[in-house]
Structure 1
Amino acid sequence: MNLPNKLTVLRVIMIPFFVVFMLFDISGAPDKWIALAIFCVASFTDLLDGKIARKYNLVTNFGKFMDPLADKLLVCTAMICLVSMNKLNVIVVIIIIAREFIISGFRLVASDSGIVIAASYWGKFKTVSQMAMIIVLIADLGDVFAVIGTVLVWVSLILTIISLIDYVAKNKQVLTQGGM
């Protein structure tokens, strides 16, 4: 297993530890900061694994499948934790998770037709905005950060919808050729 794939697996392994520190009172006040650190490190591995894989030509089928799945698991898990802590509206999370299921299904149909749907810039912007939103909401520094958190929730939601429309519009042939 190459380094990018190990980083992807590490990201998945970090998720339960993140959940424990987010939802359970392990060490009191430091819990949120430990959870935040875990989330930041896990998010950084997302950036790092892709850069390493492309730079050193270490792209694998495992990585193509697991990297986006690991990202979705990390981000969706964090958002669900934030909902349970009343820091994020459940409707926002439902829309974001629904988009992830739709795009995953869309990619699956496309792959059956031999079409590879690469990540778009809108999708990358969406992921970065969601990760930034999660970081700000976990940090919960109040005042100006509360406003920044609210803005990031809306930006994430808007980019989620735009990226969905972008994927479908650019790959509408999948709907006609993919047997749908």
Structure 2
Amino acid sequence: MATAKQWNLPNKISLGRLCICGLFVGDVSLPWAYSATTALLLFAVGSLTDWVDGWVARRHNLVSDLGKLLDPLADKILICAAFLVLLERGVVPLWAVVVIMAREFLVTGLRALTAARGAVLAAASSGKWKTLAQMLYVLLMLTQMALAEIGGGGKEGAGRLLEAPATALLWLAVGITFASGVLYFYRCRALVFSGEGTEKGGEKDLERQPYSSGSGNRMARP
């Protein structure tokens, strides 16, 4: 159970990002004229808080165990919610959403398994690039939807200019997502199949040098 000390400012910001996820889903679920525009603003703010909470934690030495759990959890929920919304709107292919969400469930499961066996699965730097590519893709698609919503001709005008970079970002995001998922499974293969890592030293076998990503509220982004 989190203590009052654990609920510091960075963790409150991460919790706020979870609240933004709820507002984001609620907004796109309502049939009103500017849902895409509002969704774009909410997602942009949520993405920004991912950097802010880490900066505050790093600058004021407020990194906590709760933050290492809450921060990446908020990231995963925000990203998964956004891709499900884009899937429902028909602007992202199903296969891409399946790859992205399967990877998130895989890594979450591996982290739970390693923790249960007394080991630590430190995050890899590929997680930073994965999340960055995913967020940029979502921002581009929401921008295209907002342009069409506001101007009526966004898809034929300015919105069309975003299609090529958005497609490139999608392939990049899916590629990094898949590769990082394979990397995590490879690092945990001995633990998964033989139960190693519960003995002293097992933790060291799974750890990598912590990577300080844009959000320093945890050791690195998973």
TM norm structure 1: 0.91
Distance 1:66 1:107 in 2: 14
Which residue number corresponds to residue 22 of structure 1? 28
The one-character-per-residue Cα deviations of 1:52-105 (angstroms, maximum 9, x if unpaired) are 223322122221111111111100001000000001111111111110111011
Task: Write out the 4+ residue segments of structure 1 that deviate beyond 6 Å after TM superposition.
Answer: none
Aligned residue for 1:146, secondary structure, equals helix
Which residue number corresponds to residue 182 of structure 2? 165
Aligned residue for 1:143, secondary structure, equals helix
Distance 1:47 1:41 in 2: 10
Distance 1:7 1:51 in 2: 11
Does 1:104 find its partner at 2:108? yes
Identify the match of residue 82 of structure 1 among 73, 80, 86.
86
Which residue number corresponds to residue 17 of structure 2? 11
Quick check: 1:18–1:35 contact (8 Å CA) kept in 2? yes
Distance 2:26 2:75 in 1: 18
Quick check: 2:118–2:197 contact (8 Å CA) kept in 1? no
TM norm structure 2: 0.75
Q: Amino acid of the residue matched to residue 168 of structure 1? A: F
Farther off after superposition, 15-24 or 84-93: 15-24
Going from structure 1 to structure 2, the CA distance change for 1:111 and 1:18 (only over 3 Å counts) comes to: same
Going from structure 1 to structure 2, the CA distance change for 1:117 and 1:54 (only over 3 Å counts) comes to: farther
Quick check: 1:109–1:178 contact (8 Å CA) kept in 2? no
How is 1:35-54 mapped onto 2 (pairs within 5 angstroms)? Answer: 35-54=39-58
Quick check: 2:119–2:197 contact (8 Å CA) kept in 1? no
Aligned residues: 177
Identity within the alignment, %:
34
Task: Report deviation, 1:178.
Answer: 5.4
Quick check: 2:136–2:169 contact (8 Å CA) kept in 1? yes
Distance 2:179 2:18 in 1: 27
Q: Which has the larger radius of gyration?
A: 2
Identify the match of residue 124 of structure 1 among 128, 131, 152.
128
Q: Amino acid of the residue matched to residue 25 of structure 2? A: V
Task: Report deviation, 1:134.
Answer: 0.4
Report the aligned-residue RMSD: 1.6
Task: Report deviation, 1:172.
Answer: 3.5
Query: Can you give the 5+ residue segments of structure 1 that lack an aligned partner in the other structure?
Result: none
Quick check: 1:112–1:178 contact (8 Å CA) kept in 2? no
Identify the match of residue 142 of structure 2 among 111, 122, 138.
138
